[in-house]
Amino acid sequence: MPSPEEAAARKRLYLRYSIPPGNDYTNLVPLFEQFIRLPDFLVEKAHLRPEVQRKLKGVRDTVLEIMKRDELMEKADERAGEREKAKKAKRDAELKALDAKAQKKYLDKEREKELRKGSRKMKA
């Protein structure tokens, strides 16, 4: 006869693996995919109480929102980086086209502009 501890329902699954040499995780990808799909499978096939199903749905929705927000932020960062590169390339092209005196004048104007911008931020 099993003890009460042995008969109790287990509600956790643990995934353990050793880190592969050379950080090559390609062999583990199918395992991870199955492990990630397991909760969805359990919700579909297992007979869970309605409050448990609502809680699972809530957690899933929250995680999806976080993932979408992170993806949007990543894309925004990439676009900002591309804009910055374009600005830098334009600035470099303008500077190359000028002679030494004009370059110095351009850089001085740029520096003054940055100082004014910084002083506005300090006031605000």
pLDDT, tens digit (0-9, with 9 covering 90-100), for 23-63: 788 888 888 888 888 877 877 888 888 888 888 888 888 98
With H, G, I as helix, E, B as strand and everything else as coil, classify residue 91.
helix
CB-CB contact of 35 with 15 (8 Å): yes
pLDDT value for 83: 96
pLDDT at 1 over 60: no
pLDDT value for 56: 82
pLDDT value for 3: 65
Q: Assign residue 15 a region: left if phi > 0, alpha if psi is -120 to 50, beta otherwise? A: beta
Kindly write down the DSSP assignment for every residue of 96-122, as one continuous string. Answer: HHS-HHHHHHHHHHHHHHHHHHHHHHH
pLDDT value for 77: 96
What is the pTM for the complete model shown?
0.51
pLDDT value for 87: 92
**pLDDT grade, residue 7 (50/70/90)?**
low
Q: Which pLDDT tens digit goes with each residue over 53-110? A: 888 888 888 988 999 999 999 999 999 999 999 999 998 898 888 898 988 898 899 8
Start-to-end CA distance of the chain, whole Å, equals 74
Domain boundaries, the chain: 31-98
- Write the DSSP symbol of residue 55: H
